[in-house]
Chains A and B, each alone.
Chain A
Amino acid sequence: AQSVTQLDSQVPVFEEAPVELRCNYSSSVSVYLFWYVQYPNQGLQLLLKYLSGSTLVKGINGFEAEFNKSQTSFHLRKPSVHISDTAEYFCAVSSNTGNQFYFGTGTSLTVIP
C-alpha cells in the first residue's frame, strides 16, 4: 500500500519569498507522484507530476518539484511566491496500477503581503 505525508499543515510566507512544501511517501513499488492545488470552494488542479525521467519536474505557475527516491520525497518549491498562490496544496501518489490515488492531508499556503 502507498501513503503520503505532508509534514506542514500550514505555511505562512511573505510575498516574493521562496517556499518549499514538503511531501514524503511510502511505497513498496514504483509510484507516480503529483501535486495539486485547491483554491477556496473549488476542485483540485494539477500543478505537476512525476512519472519517470528527470527527477526535477516543472509545473504551472512557476512551481517545481524534485523526486528523491532515496529519501522518498517529492517536495514542491517556488522561488518567489505571489499573493495568488495562497491556497491548499495536496501531494498525491498513484499506485503502480494507476487507478488508485492517495492524498496527503494538505498544506495551507498563506502568502503575506
Chain B
Amino acid sequence: GAVVSQHPSWVICKSGTSVKIECRSLDFQATTMFWYRQFPKQSLMLMATSNEGSKATYEQGVEKDKFLINHASLTLSTLTVTSAHPEDSSFYICSGLAGGGFGGELFFGEGSRLTVL
C-alpha cells in the first residue's frame, strides 16, 4: 500500500512554544489530507480536512488559530500547534486520501505523540 510518513514521532516541548508536525505522502499524491487527534484508549477525533492549495476545513470545536494546517503541495501537509499547553498533549495522526472520490482509500501516518510540559 501507499506510504504516509509523519514526523516527528515524538516531541516534548515547553508550554507556550509552537510545534510543527509534518505529514508526507511518499508514493502518491494526496489532494486531501486529514488530521486527527486521539486520546488514550479512544477513537480518532477528526480535527480538520485539508485540500492542497486551499484553506483547511476545521471540525466544530477545533480552534483554527491554535491548530494551523497548511497543505502547500500534493505530498505535504503540516500541522502547527501554536502556543502549546499541557492540555494539547495528545497523539496526532494524519492521513492522505489516495485515489480520491468514490472508493478512495485512506493511508495513515504513524502518528506523532506530543507532550507539553
Contacts and interface: CB of A to CB of B under 8 A. Distances in A.
A43 B110 contact: yes
Interface string A80-94: 000000000010101
Nearest to B93: A43
B92 to A, nearest CB: 10
Interface residues of B, number: 29
Given A41-B113, A42-B111, A43-B109, A103 B101 contact: no
A97 interface: yes
B105 interface: yes
Contacts, number: 63
Interface of A: 32, 34, 36, 41-46, 49, 51, 90, 92, 94, 96-101, 103-106, 108
Interface of B: 1, 4, 6, 32, 34, 41-44, 46, 49, 91, 93, 95, 97, 99-111, 113
25 contacts: A32-B102, A41-B91, A42-B110, A43-B108, A43-B109, A43-B111, A44-B44, A44-B93, A46-B1, A49-B105, A51-B103, A90-B43, A92-B106, A97-B102, A98-B97, A98-B99, A99-B100, A99-B101, A100-B49, A101-B34, A101-B46, A103-B43, A103-B44, A105-B43, A106-B42
